[in-house]
Amino acid sequence: MKIEKTESGIKISIWSKHRVYELIYEVRLVAVLNAFAYRREKELIDNLSEKEKPILRKLKLRLFQLENAMKEMETNPDYIDTFELRNKLDFNEWFHNGVRSLINQIEEYSFEFTEKTRFGYCW
């Protein structure tokens, strides 16, 4: 897994050697998107950034789990079936939909900043 800073937040990439593809997730962070307003809205940006941190931590943990699952798939072609039977969860729903949900929760703080200040960036 590779985490890179971007001009709007971070980009997280997971490469699968076995399936020869890369999963890329971009996350917009309120402090990065609205750095231009930091001096004027320091308290609000800091508060929203603190709210982002636990969700960002959950996101990184879920992506580490996904990366490990992809490594496991390289040696065990029945991994997804085993995962679904053992956990009684749909693999795609747990990982991909779960990751998208966490990213949306993080990005909501940028929308909240925009609503409270009537300026700033949320996309």
Domain assignments of the chain as residue spans, ordered by start? 2-117
Closest by CA to 110, choosing from 9, 13, 26, is 9
Q: Please report the pLDDT score of residue 18 as a whole number.
A: 67
Which portions of the chain are predicted below pLDDT 50?
A: none
Contacts of 41 (CB under 8 A, 6+ apart): 34, 113, 117, 120
Q: Please report the pLDDT score of residue 22 as a whole number.
A: 85
d(CA 39, CA 94) in angstroms, rounded, equals 39
118: left (phi over 0), alpha (psi -120 to 50) or beta: left
Tens digits of residue pLDDT in 75-93: 898 999 999 999 998 998 9
Query: Which residue do the tokens 């001009």 mark?
Result: 7
